Amino acid sequence: MAHITILVALASILLLTLCKAIYNAYLHPLSTIPGPRLAAFTRLWLFRADLSGHAHTTIQRWHDACGPLIRIAPNELSVRSLDAYTRALYCQNTRFAKADYFYSAFDNPHGSVFSETGKQAHAAEKRLMAHAFSRQNILGLQQRVLYPNVEKWIERLRKEYVERGRAVTLWLATQCLTLETAACFNYGSGAEAFEAEGFEHELLAGFDVLPKIVTVFQHWPAVRTAAMWVQRLAGSGIAQVNAGASEGFERLVAQKRQGETNGMIMFDSMMERASRNGMPLDRTRMVNNGSLMLVAGTGTTAASLTTAIYYLVKQPQLWYELKRQLLDKIGDASSQPDVVELEKVPLLEAVVKEALRVGNPIRGRNPRVTPPGGWDFSGVHIPEGTVISSAQLFYCADPTVFPEPEKFMPERWLVEDTAAMNRNLVVFSLGTRSCIGQK
């Protein structure tokens, strides 16, 4: 009898799954929108694409074949339209809320400013961070954070390559520079990244496993409840990143007790402003924000820096011309020029923009939820509750704006009219949810 009950239960589950798949494919409000056939039946197509790490290029190819609106999951669409990106999905006053399934994967019970889906809570927390990320404060940290770390990094590169004759893995080396800088900015002290043998800092190994872990969380939320199992799965990933952030926070608290801080470091600035406004700060959430800043500040900046260095080495004439323009501006190569002066070097600005465009460090979808009343796009009514996204990559690689988009060509930015290219360079996203660290 028990066997019959189990068989009936399994048959019922199978029948329900089959009925849901048929509904999704043929009766769902999104059933007329083109896209991968499997995506109409199940989220497995999108899960596989995300897990591969190349969902952005896969979805881009489907847009090439099917047009500006495609279905990538039973209740999820991708749109490729700069107008939709800038005026609807990610604009300043957007009505499209963050998709909880996607952002909660970065979360734990205490959350972070990135995973926060509530507009008011997000705005309040972002205001606490605003001073630390202001242009004035960042410029004020040049001599304390930027140049000391760059000098240590160059010296370490010199020792590895010149003195020891070792090849250097550029991606690891740039990550160590950006990790150390991010840690100093967050906590006022570094992560000892320059001491790591072969630039293989333990936190970088943790960063490497996070994308796949987060992808599993996004598509299979129940996995997040198995915390101990996840910790074992992640190994030196999630636990190690959180431990690094916690240690940095404790160092800052100790410095603050001894009066060694000045309000310029991010978490010191946050604590001062929260205290001034009578706002309570949760320690665990502060640590979570620290983990976020370490991961985001390390990988994205390193991706752009690696891209720039790689192509400058591959194009020596470009490097010689950039060097000439820099020396004309600063005179002495050993000096520490103000960033404001460096911003006046045309080719340097062009190289930075092209590195951001080609390196394109943020390639995820950043999905949003269609607001009440739905949304009309290109003659198609999209029902409320539909998840919809648009990747920055679509616009940074648009051949109508950037001819031969796969090529690194800083000279494309050295023309009189760059308005269209600047509109398409949405690497930091837009609106209130744009990257706070873009300055």
Question: Tens of pLDDT along the chain (439 residues)?
Answer: 666 777 666 777 787 777 787 878 887 899 999 999 999 999 999 999 999 988 999 999 999 999 999 999 999 999 999 999 999 999 988 999 999 889 888 766 567 777 777 778 777 788 878 888 889 989 999 999 999 999 999 999 999 988 888 899 999 999 999 999 999 998 888 889 999 999 999 889 888 888 888 898 889 887 776 654 555 554 545 677 777 778 888 888 888 777 777 777 888 888 888 888 777 777 778 888 888 888 888 999 999 999 999 999 999 999 999 999 999 998 887 888 999 999 999 999 999 999 999 998 677 788 999 999 999 999 999 999 999 999 999 999 999 999 999 999 999 999 999 999 999 999 988 876 677 776 6
- The DSSP secondary-structure symbol of 28 reads S
Output the pLDDT for position 310: 97
184 carries a ligand binding annotation? no
180-194 burial, b at 16+ Cβ within 10 Å, e below that, comes to: bbbbbbbbbbbbebb
Nearest CA to 126 among 274, 3, 236? Answer: 274
Could you tell me the two tokens for 368?
């949003």
Q: Is the dihedral of CA 213, 215, 218, 221 positive or negative?
A: negative
Output the pLDDT for position 278: 79
Output the pLDDT for position 228: 47
Could you tell me the two tokens for 416?
């009189």
User: Measured between alpha carbons, how far is 402 from 357 in angstroms, rounded to an integer?
Assistant: 10
Q: Is the dihedral of CA 16, 18, 20, 23 positive or negative?
A: negative
Name the one residue in this structure whose structure tokens are 């000391």.
Answer: 148
The distance of Cα 45 from the centroid of its chain, to the nearest Å, equals: 23
- Angle ∠(65,68,72) on CA atoms, nearest 5: 75
325-352 burial, b at 16+ Cβ within 10 Å, e below that, comes to: ebeeebeeeeeeeeeeeeeebebbebbb
Output the pLDDT for position 377: 96
Output the pLDDT for position 349: 97
- Cβ atoms of 78 and 56 within 8 Å: the answer is no
User: Measured between alpha carbons, how far is 31 from 35 in angstroms, rounded to an integer?
Assistant: 10
Output the pLDDT for position 392: 92
Neighbouring C-alpha atoms within 13 Å toward the C-beta of 305: 17
Residues 6+ apart with CB under 8 A from 54: none
Torsion of CA 45, 51, 53, 58, to 10 degrees: 0
User: Measured between alpha carbons, how far is 436 from 116 in angstroms, rounded to an integer?
Assistant: 14
Residues 6+ apart with CB under 8 A from 246: 287, 290
- Cβ atoms of 287 and 249 within 8 Å: the answer is yes
Q: What is 100-298's CATH number?
A: 1.10.630.10
Q: Give all strands (DSSP E) within 133-238, no chain letters.
A: none
Output the pLDDT for position 61: 96
- Cβ atoms of 59 and 49 within 8 Å: the answer is yes
Task: Return phi, psi of residue 155, to 5°.
Answer: -65, -40
